[in-house]
Amino acid sequence: MFSLLSSEFILLSASTLFVYVLYQSRAKPQKLPLPPGPSKLPFVGNAFSFPSTFEWEAFTQWGKDYNSDILHLSVFGISIVVLNSFEATRDLLEKRSTLYSSRPRFHLITEVMGFEWLIPFMPYGNAWKERRRILQRHFHSQNDALVRPVELKYTRGLLLKLLEDPSTNFRTHVRHAIGSTLMSLTYGTKTHSMSDPIVEVAEETGHHLSQNATPATVLIDKLPFLIPILSPFLSASAFKKPRAFWDKLTLTLRETPFAVVQREMADGTAEPSFVSKALEDISGTQDTAKQHQIIKDVAALVFIGSGTTNAVMQTFFLAMTLFPEAQAKAHEEFDRIIGRGRLPDFDDMPHLPYIAALIREVHRWKTPGPFGIPRILEQDDEYKGYLLPAGSFIMSNAWAIQYNEEQYPNPSTFLPDRFMKDGKLDASLPDPSVVSFGFGRRTCPGMPVANSSVWLMIASLLSVFEIIPPVDEKGVQILPKGNYVSGMTFHPAPFDCVVRPRHKEVEVLIRGTADIHA
């Protein structure tokens, strides 16, 4: 039972909430209608119907129910606008980016967990612009001469690990290859173990962010005084860990590898990396401490970004396990265009259209970011005859875009051929990977690096391996169920598959090209 004090607190919170909702509803007269959406109850709005997991699927269905690519919901007076089409998302987040580029406060992420330094959760302003600028300067497509040799090294190391140790779960080898690539690009340091502590901390941080930045938990951004009441009913790990836990993650991510690079630069042993080059770029007229802080923030973000690439690669392994006909077509394209005498490299990219189509379908079929991080509308706006109220949370539904049945018939089926036309990539269909990386001023600057890493890993794996389901003691295939984990980063639940060489020349081919230090 509640004590008298807790009962008084609940009564005070409810009263405060009632006044807040009443103010929100009467603050501005509405001359235009709101976008359509589920019926709202007095006072609570859509609080009882708001999904807590797999939100994107519910919003996609509501878009069909109300025949609209833009929806309006309300939870305790908080206005929420859901964008369910590429057109609406592009029109607002790109063409009107001055109004749609900032973020809500993210009370859980920034204040409870202490990740206010993470760029994706920063409001639009000078601090965000400074970090964005340095990201764009160092992580762009013109930097291929520095990026691609590192990607080649660790991708070929991945092939060797899968050849020598196929019994180990493929996820372990993949996460090590991705983490090592980002570690090398960001800090110039090498990871020598599949359980490197820095890589593990980055992955753990990404996992917690994915679970705590969901639309359901972000709603308390405007209602932080309800946290003591709501926290027992929410699964967000932010409520279950002490602040010291989050501070330790931050210290490990931002300070430890940065200090290593500084020490190596002083010794003259530093490898070229984002951090070393960014430190060299600091001029004598700049505030050195401030610049160091910016570099630390950007470097840690790049490293945490391994979660999205990992999700894409896990979906790739699942798709190959479940859809062998797509894998067979990829093998045929390799044998016909490259042959079996060498591994693919980046020069082969324009000549392997089916591989490109397969990668696009991986992004579309189970997009790694089905729901964009919410933005906040700076002032009242009008779109398609509807009022979009100032202060609204703007949520772009990438899942609805990727599952548009007019553009992608039978969207639940994994079908790379949907992106092919007359033996070439169909230029009339947009690249789904673009949707995965966001819109407008908030588009992820790391997209070129992520896309090139994914292409090389998938192309290399398909050139030498066959990915098949395991079998039971009777020789019957055990197909994965294909379940997924709900979160900001969307990835399959753990499943098993077998990775085996496609032909007898594979071992010589891999050992002849792999860097033993990768």
| CB-based contacts of 87, cutoff 8 Å, min separation 6 | 69
Give phi and psi for 72, each to the nearest 5.
-125, 135
Dump pLDDT digits (tens) for 94-121.
Answer: 999 999 999 988 888 888 888 899 888 8
Residue 253 DSSP class:
I
Domains and CATH numbers, the chain: 31-511 (1.10.630.10)
The band of 135, judged by pLDDT with boundaries at 50, 70 and 90, is: confident
Cα–Cα distance for residue pair 471/478, rounded to 1 Å: 5
Query: Which of 9-23, 298-312, 488-502 is predicted least confidently?
Result: 9-23
Check if the beta carbon of residue 369 is closer than 8 Å to that of residue 490: yes
Dump pLDDT digits (tens) for 68-78.
Answer: 999 999 988 88
pLDDT at 24 over 60: no
- Known binding-site residues equal 444
Higher pLDDT, 222 or 248: 248
- Residue 71's pLDDT is what? 97
Dump pLDDT digits (tens) for 242-289.
Answer: 889 989 988 888 898 899 999 999 999 998 889 999 999 887 778 899
Structure tokens at 511: 């050992």
Q: To which residue do tokens 């933005």 refer? A: 375
Pairing assessment for the beta strands 393-396 and 78-83 based on DSSP bridges: parallel
Higher pLDDT, 297 or 234: 297
Rg (CA), the chain: 24
Residue 13, H or E segment: helix 4-26
The band of 15, judged by pLDDT with boundaries at 50, 70 and 90, is: very low
Mean pLDDT of 208-217: 76
Q: Is 237 exposed, middle or buried (0-12, 13-18, 19+ CB in 10 A)?
A: middle
pLDDT at 353 over 70: yes
pLDDT at 452 over 70: yes
- Residue 8's pLDDT is what? 44
- Residue 438's pLDDT is what? 84
Dump pLDDT digits (tens) for 171-200.
Answer: 999 998 998 999 899 998 765 555 577 778
- Residue 234's pLDDT is what? 56
Higher pLDDT, 22 or 93: 93
- Known binding-site residues for heme equal 444
pLDDT at 416 over 80: yes
- Residue 202's pLDDT is what? 83
pLDDT at 151 over 60: yes
- Residue 29's pLDDT is what? 52
- Residue 10's pLDDT is what? 41
Q: What is the DSSP string of 25-41?
A: HHSS--SSPPPP-S--B
Cα–Cα distance for residue pair 118/163, rounded to 1 Å: 37
Nearest to 426 by CA among 502, 372, 361: 361
Structure tokens at 412: 């639940």
Average pLDDT, the chain: 86
- Residue 231's pLDDT is what? 58
